Amino acid sequence: LAKGLIMADKMPHLADEVFQTLDPDDWDEFRESGHKVFDDMLDMLQGAGDTPIWRDISDKAIEALGTVVPHKPQGLDAVLSSFRQNIEPFMPGNHHPRYWGWANGAGTAYGLISTMLNTAYNANNIRHRHAGAWVELQVLDWFKDILKFPCESCGLLTSGGSMANFAGLSAARTAMTGAESRQYGIAWSGVKGYTVYASSQTHFSVAKAWDQLGMGYANARKIAVDAEDRLDLVALKKQIAADRRDGYSPIAIVGTLMTVGTGAIDPMGDIADLAQDEKLWFHVDAAIGVALAFSDKYKHLAIGVERADSIAFDLHKWLQQPYDVGAVLVRHADGLKNAFSFDAPYLREIKGSVADPPVAFSDLGLELSRANRALPVWFSMQIHGVEAFGRVVEHNIDLAQYLVEQVSKAPSLQLLAPAPLNIVNLRFEPPGAAEAGLNQLNEEILRQLHRRGIAVPSPTTIDGKMSIRVCIINHRTRKKDIDILVKAIGEIGLELIGKKKDAAE
């Protein structure tokens, strides 16, 4: 016997096979509990909007969530009961019709089924030969078609827009600086700095990616915007020229299809032309705006993104997919592979076996193990048909424009930025109110909207002014929800001013 091997008779657990299973002891009981949980979730989704949108987590729940390591089994009933008491009442609320915060998607009831199927098989879309790989390729092909991107381009589903931006910019880095930058690090070439250009309204994940790629976030240049928050081409050209003069090496320009702050769309065609002239990579961040391409009425706004070298977008935002899923497409068929592939003996491929993937996904991104993210997308796009997503987009934009109309009619409400599509920035500003104090007042209004469980817009700052930002990417929102919001802001605002007056008296 080789040194270190234990003989079978020295393994008492195997002698009469004492084992630990993690499957249910009683499948019938488990089945009953499982059906009940599923029914409860359906009730919850069917009644989305009937309960307060958000409740601040109780001290009791926080205490219950801070227990010691559970060494002994608690049992399904006990754990479900703790979930119901300590977790469920304090969920984020983005399934509710009046959730308009940040860019959080509402999800769908169908997502419950598809994520459950994924979990049952615990499929890992790593680099194996199973149907999930073809499902992902299929979903990516659908997006290439919708975004008019070339069939031969490569792509990957990611955990979201941040990772998709990272992957796209990583492809840009390798393509523009050469494979040696992967081997020896970006300092190998002795270049003073590699720069990327994006508007000041660009999502921070672009600069973060540049930072994490070792390029330095100061080299992610913030370019001025015009009055509509769109990247200013003149300022961009000037900055590129100045950088070249100063010894920097420009790599890429990023255009955003709907900025997170106001929904602005950068001039894609102009950026594509400039990138071509300057021989730079053109990356598009369409995390929110990808959904426009699903609408016959608005898809013209996405014209130009098909000229990009890479496009990042989210599916868990306006496209309603269950968290978490985003995607990146790169025009060059090997763009992602060149940036991410690695060899390892334990990843060897064997023809005709499980180890014979149609695509080695782990060579296209940062992750090795990956959820089978494509299945819910494949599922819901077929169930609803892509036109349904376009109609959600159109209705959401109509609702946002209805909100703009209500704000402009209300003497005590003010729009803080242009709202061309579905993102509205507003504040309470009673006639004659002094500027000082308005930020604090609007912060309190926002807090009260949340704390009273009425609605969840999110905060942002526009030209130094605290904004109540309403980003409508919610398929459950109706006109009456907008009326409730407008009324609540007015009432809470007046109530708070009254309170202040009372305190002063």
Ligand X SMILES: Cc1ncc(COP(=O)(O)O)c(C=O)c1O
Least Cβ distance, residue 162 to ligand X (angstroms): 3
Distance, in Å, from the CA atom of 377 to the CA atom of 137, rounded to the nearest integer, reads: 12
> Which string of x and - marks every residue 401-440 that binds ligand X (by CB under 6 A)?
----------------------------------------
- CA angle, 221 as apex, 217 and 226 as ends, to 5°? 140
User: Which of 155/161 has CB closer to ligand X?
Assistant: 161
Considering only 48, 287, 330, 381, the residue that binds ligand X (CB under 6 A) is: 287
Q: Which amino acid is at 463?
A: D
Tokens, residue 76: 């399904």
User: Which of 168/357 has CB closer to ligand X?
Assistant: 168
Tokens, residue 330: 């790169």
Q: Is 203 one of the binding residues for ligand X (CB under 6 A)?
A: yes
Distance, in Å, from the CA atom of 61 to the CA atom of 87, rounded to the nearest integer, reads: 7
Q: Is 103 one of the binding residues for ligand X (CB under 6 A)?
A: yes
Distance, in Å, from the CA atom of 107 to the CA atom of 98, rounded to the nearest integer, reads: 14
Residues shown for the chain? 505
Considering only 266, 285, 363, 444, the residue that binds ligand X (CB under 6 A) is: 285
Least Cβ distance, residue 265 to ligand X (angstroms): 11
User: Which of 136/285 has CB closer to ligand X?
Assistant: 285
Considering only 160, 357, 365, 457, the residue that binds ligand X (CB under 6 A) is: 160
Backbone φ, ψ for residue 238 (5° rounding): -60, -45
Tokens, residue 392: 């959600």
Considering only 118, 125, 162, 320, the residue that binds ligand X (CB under 6 A) is: 162
Q: Are 261 and 147 in contact (CB under 8 A)?
A: no
Where do the DSSP E strands lie in 201-334? 220-223, 249-256, 281-286, 310-314, 326-330
> Which string of x and - marks every residue 305-344 that binds ligand X (by CB under 6 A)?
---------x-----------x------------------
User: Which of 197/248 has CB closer to ligand X?
Assistant: 197
Starting from the edge strand earliest in sequence, which strands make up the sheet with 326-330, in order? 154-158, 326-330, 310-314, 281-286, 249-256, 194-199, 220-223
User: How many residues belong to the site for ligand X (CB under 6 A)?
Assistant: 14
User: Which of 284/413 has CB closer to ligand X?
Assistant: 284
Q: Which amino acid is at 167?
A: A
User: Which of 127/373 has CB closer to ligand X?
Assistant: 373
Considering only 264, 265, 288, 397, the residue that binds ligand X (CB under 6 A) is: 288
The DSSP code for 301 is: G
Q: Which stretch binds ligand X (CB under 6 A): 111-119, 156-164, 176-184, 359-367?
A: 156-164
User: Which of 177/422 has CB closer to ligand X?
Assistant: 422
The torsion defined by the Cα of 270, 307, 281 and 253, in degrees rounded to 10, comes to 40
Q: Is 196 one of the binding residues for ligand X (CB under 6 A)?
A: no
> Which string of x and - marks every residue 56-95 that binds ligand X (by CB under 6 A)?
----------------------------------------
Distance, in Å, from the CA atom of 487 to the CA atom of 427, rounded to the nearest integer, reads: 13
Quick one: CA dihedral 378, 380, 384, 390, positive or negative?
negative
Least Cβ distance, residue 65 to ligand X (angstroms): 24
User: Which of 165/338 has CB closer to ligand X?
Assistant: 165
User: Which of 105/493 has CB closer to ligand X?
Assistant: 105
Cβ-in-10-Å burial (0-12, 13-18, 19+) of 343 comes to exposed
Can you tell me whether residue 268 is helix, strand or coil? Answer: helix
> Which string of x and - marks every residue 245-284 that binds ligand X (by CB under 6 A)?
-----------x---x------------------------
- Binding site residues, ligand X, CB under 6 A: 102-103, 160-162, 203, 205, 256, 260, 285, 287-288, 314, 326
